[in-house]
Amino acid sequence: MTQKTYEFVRVERAGPITTIILNRPEVMNALHSPAHFELAEVFDAFAADPEQWVGIVTGAGERAFSAGNDLKHQAGGGKMGSPPSGFAGLTSRFDLTKPLNGIAMGGGFEIALACDLIIASEAAIFALPEPRVGLAALAGGLHRLPRQIGLKRAMGMILTGRRVTAAEGAALGFVNEVVPAAELMAAANRWAGLIRECSPMSIRASKDAIHRGLDEPTLEAAIAGQFRYPGVAAMFGSADFVEGPMAFAQKRPPKWSGS
């Protein structure tokens, strides 16, 4: 099948891993409305493709992962708006059970926060600087960051718009690993490879249960309710659910089908 090409995004596939590359390096991969809609289409395709199990989101060029919103486009009266799935076609996408790794060179913090893992360059800088330009981080940043690092730490970043290094991001808990810039993609693929070793159905069930469970009022409710979550039900009905224990009993590597 011929893979569609886009103006502001590149998509590369290697086995079950899809790499999504924000492709506006001339503006540090800042995103405008046309890019949001292209990315929405890309993530729709990734979610719907049963042969793609893990996604990596990164940016073209060496200057930035993404500088976030293209303020010059906005100030110049360019077309505004984003799809229902949100900024970068991702930040309001709450039904994607496939795991995503965010590869950060800087900026685009709300996109990175919408990913499941963040692998950062030693030179990466993170911030929610919107209050410094009369805006607010309404693409999920104001809600994801407190949930991921706690209220006081998040307020310290949000109310000042201050810049946080990759090392501090790791200490705060929103960065999984910090590596030299030259090793970013190798690290991302290493993480993706570890995820690939697991059953895709189990990974999706786990992600589904985690996110839905966090919305439950109590731990007891989360544990009691997890068996009705779609991802968990799909895992129980899958071929992988049979293959995993069988492979263990036969002392061989499992052959995951993702179904």
Burial (CB < 10 A; 0-12, 13-18, 19+), residue 24, is buried
Residues in the chain: 259
Q: Is residue 254 part of a domain?
A: no
Answer with the residue of higher pLDDT: 1 or 78: 78
Residues 207 and 81 in one domain: no
* Active-site residue, from 7, 51, 62, 110: 110
* Active-site residue, from 7, 26, 38, 130: 130
Q: Is residue 18 part of a domain?
A: yes
Confidence of residue 22 (pLDDT cuts 50, 70, 90): very high
Residue 168 annotated to the active site: no
Query: How confident is the model over 65-114, as pLDDT tens digits?
Result: 998 888 888 777 767 788 999 999 999 999 999 999 888 765 689 999 99
Residues 158 and 93 in one domain: yes
Residues 94 and 190 in one domain: yes
Q: Is residue 97 part of a domain?
A: yes
H, E, C per residue of 41-101: HHHHHHHHCCCCCEEEEEECCCCCCCCCECHHHHHCCCCCCCCCCCHHHCCCCCCCCCCEE
Please count the structural domains in the chain.
2
Residues 66 and 163 in one domain: yes
The Cβ of residue 185 has, within 10 Å, a number of other Cβ atoms equal to 15
Q: What one-letter code names the amino acid at 26? A: E
Q: What is the pTM of this model?
A: 0.90
Confidence of residue 157 (pLDDT cuts 50, 70, 90): very high
Query: How confident is the model over 199-238, as pLDDT tens digits?
Result: 999 999 999 999 999 999 999 999 999 999 999 999 999 9
Query: How confident is the model over 118-149, as pLDDT tens digits?
Result: 999 999 999 999 999 898 999 999 999 999 99
What residues contact 76, with CB distance under 8 A and at least 6 apart?
Answer: none
Q: What is the pLDDT of residue 63?
A: 84
Residue 110 annotated to the active site: yes
